[in-house]
Amino acid sequence: MYSCIIPAGALIIMAGLSINYWVVKFTILRRCSLTHKISGSFVMFALALLDISLIMKPIIYMIFDSAVREGVQTESIVCLSIGAVYCLLPSTWLIDRVHEEKFYLHQKTYK
């Protein structure tokens, strides 16, 4: 019944996928682009949130484990201790040891 549209169906599908690709690309690049200024303090804030997530995820796992499994897994305790040690170390000391990149806190314009 549908055997007559199988050869043309591949071309129609390819055309539809290519049109969808370019429409989504245009939408992402033009409609969702940043037009205001972003400073380096935003990056530092995001890094602070990442540090907090290193501690919060094991804590949430420990709460879940104690409620569901009636005990705490060793992996959660290990991850919590690693996250706590990482957060207690001065971040400038750790960044200087691992990477030489400097963060500039002045504003940059993206168009």
Residue 65 has φ and ψ, to the nearest 5°, of: -65, -40
Report the distance separating Cα 37 and Cα 71, nearest Å: 48
Tell me the pLDDT tens digit for each residue of 27-73.
888 877 766 666 777 777 888 888 888 889 889 888 888 888 878 88
Identity of residue 86: Y
Structure tokens at 13: 């599908």
pLDDT at 44: 79
Per-residue tokens: 4: 């007559």
Helices (H), 1-111: 6-26, 40-68, 74-88, 91-98
81-95: pLDDT as tens digits: 988 888 887 766 766
- Given a cut of 70, is residue 26 above it in pLDDT? yes
pLDDT at residue number 29? 83
